[in-house]
Amino acid sequence: MRISVAALALVLSGSVAMAASVPLPRPRPAGIGQTGPLPSARPAAPGTVAVPAAKPSACQLSLQAIAVFSPEPPMKGAGQCGIADPVRLVAVILPDQARVAVHPPAALRCEMAAAVTHWIRDDMAPVAAKLGAPLRGIENFDSYDCRGRNRVFGARMSEHGRGNAIDIRAVKLDSGAITYLTDPHVAETVRNELRRSACGRFMTVLGPGSDGYHENHIHLDLAERRSGYRLCQWEVRQPLDRASPSPHIAESRTPTPLEAMPSGSAAPPSDRTPMPRPRRAAERR
């Protein structure tokens, strides 16, 4: 019996010695095993750096309640062409929440987009309603375009090259009717009111009778000049023969993209709206 007890004691002492000789695992660094954010399901491609989205400018913030637009990254063209704070104006939101589509959407400097929005919202829409139906669309004949004035080689850069100008040719009413701003058959009072309001908001307004390049559309811009000088050259003409058809409904005229725009309170066109057909150099500034 004494031998068994002695043998058991020897075995137990050996087990304790073996346990003491086994090294313990190294302590883990702080944070290991703690719950954290899961890795991205689709990591960035090698060599790319994630760029945070730019915060909206003060101009964009003020525009959000009265227009539908998409912020664009800064645009840089040849020479001095470019826009630091560009937006793509898709539609103007009227006080009754109806929308006036800009067709196709206009790439503009944000301050110019704001000026166009206020003009359409506060001035053009009430005047156009006198034509018999609410305003629902305008034709963007030209917006940002890196080129010289009137597309003349060697000419000073156009305000279009700064995103500081827009050309408007026609408007569309809720009834589906399309009205051309330079059509002498359109009510003279309507055209005079549009001219007066445009010349009060923009630094440059060019139309029929200005320089020969704006006979079929209206050019608007915010060009800066000394002493705040404004240029307002839009001749509201009378038809030569009231019995003759309007020159804007001749079969040879360039189709307007407004013809493809649905009538009624349709949603504004998307950014994928096709651009209008190419025009002759003398048709736009």
Look up residue 26 and give its amino acid: R
Alpha carbon distances (Å) from 36 to 31, 39, 40, 255: 9, 9, 12, 60
Residue 208 near residue 215 (C-beta atoms within 8 A): yes
Give me 260's structure tokens: 């493809």
Alpha carbon distances (Å) from 155 to 49, 98, 143, 149: 41, 41, 18, 6
| pLDDT of res. 109 | 98
Give me 26's structure tokens: 């190294």
**CA 279 to chain CA mean position, Å:** 22
Cα separation, 127 vs 258, in Å, equals 19
- Beta-carbon contacts of 138 under 8 Å, excluding residues fewer than 6 positions away, are 100, 101, 102, 103, 120, 124, 168, 170, 171, 172, 258
Cα separation, 127 vs 152, in Å, equals 35
Which residue stretches of the chain have pLDDT < 50?
1, 3, 5, 8-12, 15-20, 22, 32-51, 250-252, 265-283
Cα separation, 140 vs 63, in Å, equals 19
| pLDDT of res. 14 | 52
Alpha carbon distances (Å) from 124 to 70, 111, 128, 135, 179: 23, 18, 6, 8, 13
| pLDDT of res. 54 | 74
8-state DSSP, 42: S
Q: What is the 3-state secondary structure (H, E, C) of 36-95?
A: CCCCCCCCCCCCCCCCCCCCCCHHHHHHCCCEEEEECCCEECCCCCEECCEEEEEEEECC
| pLDDT of res. 77 | 83
Cα separation, 68 vs 92, in Å, equals 6
Secondary element (H or E) of residue 102: strand 99-109
| pLDDT of res. 44 | 39
| pLDDT of res. 281 | 47
- Beta-carbon contacts of 10 under 8 Å, excluding residues fewer than 6 positions away, are none
| pLDDT of res. 48 | 32
- The closest of 135, 138, 136 to 108, measured between CA atoms, is 138
Cα separation, 118 vs 220, in Å, equals 13
Q: DSSP H helical segments within the chain, as ranges?
A: 2-21, 58-63, 110-118, 125-128, 188-201
